[in-house]
Amino acid sequence: MREGDRNIDEARQGEAISVDTLAFAEDNNSVVQKKLYLESYGCAMNFSDSEIIASIMNNVGYTTTKDPQEADLILVNTCSIREKAEERVRNRLNEFKRYKKKNRQLVVGMLGCMAERLKESLLEQEMLVDLVVGPDAYRDLPSLVERVNGGQKAVNVLLSREETYAEISPIRLDSAGVTAFVSIMRGCDNMCSFCVVPFTRGRERSRDPESIVAEAKDLFEKGYREVTLLGQNVDSFKWNLDIKGKVKNPDLPVVRFAELLEMVAEVNPNLRVRFSTSHPKDMVDDVMHAMSRHENLCKYIHLPVQSGSSAMLKRMNRGYTREWYLNRISAIKEILPGCELSTDIITGFCGETQEEHDDTMTLLKEVGFIMAYNFKYSERPKTLAERKFEDDVPEEVKAARLSEVILHQRQYASELTKKMVGKVYRVLVEGPSKKSDEKYFGRTTHNIVMIFDKGDLKPCDYVNVRALACTTVTLLGEVTTDQADA
Ligand code: SAH
Ligand code: SF4
Ligand code: F3S
């Protein structure tokens, strides 16, 4: 894992992180202890789900191990977002074959989005796999595993309109104990034409805000100092409202995302709150006003644009134009001066002309993102784009455009980081720096990684650090008693 990246960023890159904690809350003396090896791919939602899965399996006697060789059960929580994500999982499954040769009792399960997309066909495609479970069926895992132990294969890929796992207390697989994911909703109703998520995660539904606040409180009491609220489109969080926007129960409060943010912010001023992902079409000013009222609502917004061309955005079915996106950016800059932004870009989507790509480049330059996650378009089965458009941009053009975006972004981010040198930032200490035993890393409110001497600090402390130097996107600084600029 790269330094400082044990966060949503890492998940976005689609790299695998295996479970490496044995710190389980409950000691199941009555049940024979079995070992679970759990490996997660894809977005932060998937990593958050893995914490729910660990909790469900812990209740029936499974403790996690980071060594797949000693596991009784291997669960792979998969991602389908791009073809490469699926390929990576298939290669990994091949590696697991040798463990099964050694231990014929070993059970191997595929969970998550790839399981949902491919359903029982996975059992034929991947002989090693005994168990296929979709994102809304994890409560059924213990009985499905039992069925496999009884000699059968087992599948549950039912999607739900209600499941939010609201009352399941996740087992935190991030042993550092500083930051945690809190899932606030599931599914997505947007149907962006390139995207497989609505098919793998089902309809959008929001989690009971009381249970979200309770989870944040519990985390704070356990010493955590940062939560990231997760959903595919957090701006459309709604509680006590039906799809048409009518109040369901007049005796209960209506909670939209802006209200939820304030509720979580009020848990404690020393609990930092981040969120991902915002959708430009739904991001209302109320969210920015809430952020301006609470210092602990971090001044960093990830607002995926995908493309800078209105014609392209229409083909992508994103529900906004370039002008609308830029209007949202202006609102953020006005209401939240100093707030940093990041985005997602897809290059080479169906029919992308040079002009449309140039529009993306000018938008990147106009807005100025501290970070951009850039992807070559990868056609996904069953999506609107697969059915309606031709994947007609040649691979080398997709790649060249991607390189152009990456190069620009690197240069821009480096310039922006340089401008931060000299300023003092309030940093939450996260853990030891990978490159030096004498240093810690932490983050600014803008999600920028800062490296500084350990001194007598410890993880979870807040400290003011003056940035003295930088690499492309990392600041190097010294602890100071001076007031923070941000
Ligand atoms: N709900 C989030 C996105 C989740 S997927 C949002 O709307 O922003 C994360 C990112 O993966 C997307 O923002 C998009 O940039 C990228 N992505 C999704 N489908 C893709 C595809 N078929 N090919 C390439 N990139 C894709
Ligand atoms: Fe996919 Fe669009 Fe939903 Fe994001 S908002 S998960 S890109 S369909
Ligand atoms: Fe991948 Fe599913 Fe997330 S497709 S990006 S793991 S919602």
> What is the CA(166)–ligand 2 centre distance, in A?
22
Q: What is the pLDDT of residue 244?
A: 83
DSSP SS3 for 485 = coil
Strands (E), 251-383: 255-256, 272-276, 300-302, 340-347, 371-376
Closest residue CA from atom 2 of ligand 2: 192
From the CA of 378, the nearest ligand is 1
Q: Which of 189, 191, 197, 325 is the pocket-test mutation for ligand 2 (most atoms within 8 Å of CB)?
A: 197
> What is the CA(37)–ligand 3 centre distance, in A?
20
Cα 197 → chain centroid: 13
Domain with CATH 3.40.50.12160 in the chain: 34-156
> Does the beta carbon of 80 sit less than 6 angstroms from any atom of ligand 3?
yes
DSSP SS3 for 89 = helix
The CA-atom distances, in angstroms, between 444 and each of 339, 458, 486 are 11, 16, 8
Q: Which of 185, 189, 192 is the pocket-test mutation for ligand 2 (most atoms within 8 Å of CB)?
A: 192
Return phi, psi of residue 361, to 5°: -65, -40
> Does the beta carbon of 196 sit less than 6 angstroms from any atom of ligand 3?
yes
> Does the beta carbon of 305 sit less than 6 angstroms from any atom of ligand 2?
no
Q: Is 140 exposed, middle or buried, given 0-12, 13-18 or 19+ CB atoms closer than 10 A?
A: middle
- The sign of the torsion formed by the CA atoms of 430, 179, 293, 286 equals positive
* Contact criterion met (CB below 8 Å) for 114 and 80: yes
Q: What is the pLDDT of residue 253?
A: 92
Domain with CATH 3.80.30.20 in the chain: 179-419
Token pair of 346, please? 């897809």
pTM of the model: 0.94
- Along the chain (486 residues), what's the average pLDDT of each consecutive run of 10 residues? 37 43 41 89 97 97 94 98 97 92 94 97 93 98 97 96 96 89 97 98 97 98 98 96 89 96 98 98 97 98 98 98 98 98 98 98 98 98 98 98 98 96 98 94 98 97 98 95 96
Q: Which of 43, 237, 375, 389 is the pocket-test mutation for ligand 1 (most atoms within 8 Å of CB)?
A: 375
CB atoms under 10 Å from CB of 153, counted, come to: 14
Measured CA to CA, the distance from residue 117 to residue 324 in angstroms comes to 33
Measured CA to CA, the distance from residue 472 to residue 477 in angstroms comes to 14
Return phi, psi of residue 323, to 5°: -65, -40
Ligand 1 shell residues, CB under 6 Å: 43, 81-82, 194-195, 197, 232-233, 277, 279, 304, 306, 344, 346, 375, 377-378, 380
Domain with CATH 2.40.50.140 in the chain: 421-479
From the CA of 346, the nearest ligand is 1
Q: What is the pLDDT of residue 370?
A: 96
> Does the beta carbon of 383 sit less than 6 angstroms from any atom of ligand 3?
no
> What is the CA(310)–ligand 1 centre distance, in A?
17
Return phi, psi of residue 438, to 5°: -85, 0
Q: In ligand 3, which atom is closest to the CA atom of 45?
A: 3
Q: In ligand 3, which atom is closest to the CA atom of 12?
A: 5
> What is the CA(197)–ligand 2 centre distance, in A?
6
CATH superfamily, with its number, for domain 179-419: tm_1862 like domain (3.80.30.20)
Q: What is the pLDDT of residue 17?
A: 46
From the CA of 376, the nearest ligand is 1
Closest residue CA from atom 5 of ligand 2: 190
Q: What is the pLDDT of residue 10?
A: 39
Q: What is the pLDDT of residue 456?
A: 96
Q: What is the pLDDT of residue 21?
A: 36
φ/ψ bin of 194: left (φ > 0), alpha (ψ from -120 to 50), beta (otherwise): alpha
CATH superfamily, with its number, for domain 34-156: Methylthiotransferase, N-terminal domain (3.40.50.12160)
Q: Which of 8, 52, 76, 81 is the pocket-test mutation for ligand 3 (most atoms within 8 Å of CB)?
A: 81
> What is the CA(309)–ligand 1 centre distance, in A?
17
Angle at 409 between CA 405 and CA 412, to 5 degrees: 140
Q: Which fold has domain 421-479?
A: OB fold (Dihydrolipoamide Acetyltransferase, E2P) (2.40.50)
> Does the beta carbon of 79 sit less than 6 angstroms from any atom of ligand 3?
yes
Of 123, 97, 95, the residue nearest 110 (C-alpha): 123
> Does the beta carbon of 306 sit less than 6 angstroms from any atom of ligand 2?
no
> What is the CA(205)–ligand 2 centre distance, in A?
14
Q: In ligand 1, which atom is closest to the CA atom of 385?
A: 22
Return phi, psi of residue 46, to 5°: -65, -40
* Contact criterion met (CB below 8 Å) for 451 and 431: no
Q: In ligand 2, which atom is closest to the CA atom of 306?
A: 7
